[in-house]
Amino acid sequence: MNATMMTVNPFGENMYFLWDEASLEAVVIDPGMMREDECKMVTDFIAEHHLKVLHVLLTHLHLDHACAARWLADKTGADVCGCALDAPLGLDMPQQVAHFHLKFESEPLKLDRELANGDTLQLGDETIQVLHVPGHSPGGLAFYLPDSALLIAGDTIFNGSVGRTDLFGGDMAQLLNSIREKIYTLPDETVIASGHGPTTTVADEKRFNPFV
């Protein structure tokens, strides 16, 4: 499985491309582009690698992770997938933009497909497992690729830190429980690719993360 990270928007959000080398089937996780040059960077990358984008996957529906989801889905023919518990955040996307005084237009975002804990998606020969990890938002999801020992964790956990819980639907006790039960139970060698900042591993977070 090929994986590429791009960092976009004023929040320094990490979006991810995962694709199968044989079929060129791909998913894009958390497209948060807010400028024309960022959108062009994404479409150029897709064209350069001849990717067939099947799904736009959202770890959660905060604007820095989801504001370009519909735009990208319309460009590629993909569907937008996320957790139903975050649907109100998607519908409130224009209000989220206004709250942060950002200068771009956004429309309410409606999911095409709802994902829940235990669901799976197939990408080439590899299975993507869906984990429900609430706490940063009610419908927080993480995407686990066991064959690649990779977890796309959104804003649930970072290198040496955890996601904030002072936004709509945040809950620190729930967040820590998600980390302990869903992430720390994965193999130690699993690479954690977070929504912001550098990658880490399950082993390092279990040993060094001061918040859990």
pTM of the model: 0.98
Q: Report yes or no: 147 and 134 within 8 Å, Cβ to Cβ.
A: no
Task: Retrieve residue 8's tokens.
Answer: 């976009």
Task: Retrieve residue 161's tokens.
Answer: 């830190």
Confidence of residue 68 (pLDDT cuts 50, 70, 90): very high
Count the Cβ atoms, other than its own, within 10 Å of residue 47: 9
pLDDT at 8 over 90: yes
pLDDT of the residue at 54:
98
Helix (H) or strand (E) holding 67: none
CATH 3.60.15.10 fits 2-208, yes or no: yes
**Summary mean pLDDT of the chain:** 97
Can you list the pairs that 115-118 forms with residues at least 24 positions away whose Cβ atoms lie under 8 Å? 115/57, 115/81, 115/82, 115/83, 115/141, 116/83, 116/84
pLDDT at 169 over 90: no
* Cα within 13 Å of Cα(79), Cβ side: 8
Task: Retrieve residue 53's tokens.
Answer: 């984008």
**Closest C-alpha among 69, 168, 80, 140 to residue 157:** 140
d(CA 3, CA 1): 7
pLDDT at 168 over 90: no
Write the pLDDT tens digit of every residue in 92-121. Answer: 999 999 988 898 888 999 999 999 999 999
Domain map (residue ranges) of the chain: 2-208
Q: Report which residue type is found at 11.
A: F
